[in-house]
Structure 1
Amino acid sequence: MNQLRRRVLPLVISAAALTLLVGCGDDAVDQAADLPAASATATVDPTPTAETTPTAETTPTAETTPTASVPGFLTGTDLPKHPTSAWFAGKVTAGMPEFGPFCVEDALKTQKKVWHRQFGTEFDTNATQVVVRLDSEDDAIAFLDVLAHGAALCAEDWLGGFPDGKSDSKDYGAPSANTHVYGVWTSVPESEDGAHLYGIGRDGNLVTVVSWGQMGNLDDAPVAAFKQTILTAIAKLA
């Protein structure tokens, strides 16, 4: 994993990053319904505008595709509840995040029709959803297998970038026919341990990866709630 050495895991949403998310306004923040609201719920306008509709001279790309073709994404209330903080959601954005889900980041970077949304809390818990549109359902099935392979072998591959570290993985099974959930624990000297959950799934020619992470170990990970999150992610894709 050639991207791993330039950062220490797990990824932690800093106070500055949270401020940036909150600063996005109505398009950037989702709050859990049972927690004090900090701002309005984010929505993505599905109607193409004059600024986003491609013209005859413009070939649509991940950056210029009309918003009507953007897949549906999770909101903060769809993620496992944090015990002391609401979830803050960034905008749905074309392309990969700066730091993608590390177990499958290299595979995701091979795709062109990609969108992502990042989430954070006031503490050390963060999440990311990436959605890929493939050319056909057969291509999506094949790509889902690639992602599953990467998630299953993640703990072993991660050690290649951190030979002094420790890691372990768990297969939490398939919540449905087209979804699967994995857990990855990482530990490096002089740093906090990281617990990571990966949910992958497919609907038609759309494939999604949802990653969740926080300091600690997998014993404290909200596996049952996260399984519901990946099912919700699949239901919202179309």
Structure 2
Amino acid sequence: MPALRTALAASCTAAALVLAAAPLAPAGAASAPAAPAFLDARQMPASSTPWSAGKVTKGLPEGSAFCAPGALPAKGTSHRVFRTELDTGGLQINTVAPTASRAAELVTKLRRGFAACAERVERRYPGTEASSAYHGRLAVEEGAYVYSLDTRDQEVGSTDIHLFSAGRDGRTVTYVQWGRLGDLPDAPVQGFRTTTRTAVNKLHR
């Protein structure tokens, strides 16, 4: 499963420019809406070693949104990568869509990608067993949805567990990812649900 692990790791690796500060609006002009806020390192699920947060950067990260490739556009999008000292990583992508209905469509695309992820992984990586699970809707703003992907390399016996979520506040969509070695019983599902709720609440607080 090294190729799969590399692909998952790539989705948590930033390789873009630092988010530039917006220019001041001319006198009398209507102020532009504030950019959606991102999670802080301390708001990620509890870990045995501290989280660190990368800079907010424009565009999609390298590897885009794993489990939902092509679901999010580069335009209107920024991301932040999270890491710990151990083999645990995280990612948040925020996208501002032209309309609320378009944002709702993006959430639907993400959810379809999450639900079909295991099947796609098994096709792409022969010898890997994968299972996806839905962990429910969170009642926050226009809603958020939590999923997991559990994979096992049948040759080596190594396992990886990833959690994914998609949520929306008006025109803004947020994608959150967490992952490390292990199985679903080892994953902080409840902590990730709290992180997702915080991510959506924080977008335009």
Q: 1:195 to 1:122 in 2, by over 3 A?
A: same
The partner residue of 2:92 within 129, 139, 144 is 129
What displacement does 1:67 show?
A: 10
Q: Distance in 2 between matches of 1:6 and 1:198?
A: 16
Conserved in 2, the CA contact under 8 Å of 1:89 and 1:118? yes
Q: 1:12 to 1:106 in 2, by over 3 A?
A: closer
**TM-score after normalising by structure 2:** 0.83
Aligned to 1:78: 43
Conserved in 1, the CA contact under 8 Å of 2:59 and 2:74? no
Letter of the 1:227 partner, please give it: R
Give the CA RMSD over aligned residues: 3.0
**TM-score after normalising by structure 1:** 0.72
Aligned to 2:201: 235
Q: Distance in 1 between matches of 2:32 and 2:38?
A: 13
Q: 1:183 to 1:7 in 2, by over 3 A?
A: closer
- Residue by residue over 1:112-137, the C-alpha shift from the partner in whole angstroms, topping out at 9 and shown as x without a partner, is 11100000000001000001110000
What displacement does 1:106 show?
A: 2.2
Mapping of residues 154-169 of structure 1, within 5 Å: 154-169=117-132
Aligned to 2:64: 100
What displacement does 1:54 show?
A: 8.2
Q: Distance in 2 between matches of 1:160 and 1:54?
A: 50
Aligned to 1:180: 145
Aligned residues: 191
Mapping of residues 2-21 of structure 1, within 5 Å: 8=6, 10-11=8-9
Say which structure is richer in strand.
2
Q: Distance in 1 between matches of 2:169 and 2:199?
A: 10
What displacement does 1:157 show?
A: 1.2
Gaps of 5+ in 2: none
- Residue by residue over 1:189-217, the C-alpha shift from the partner in whole angstroms, topping out at 9 and shown as x without a partner, is 33731100001100000001000000011
Q: Distance in 2 between matches of 1:219 and 1:132?
A: 31
Conserved in 1, the CA contact under 8 Å of 2:164 and 2:176? yes
Letter of the 1:81 partner, please give it: A
Letter of the 1:204 partner, please give it: G
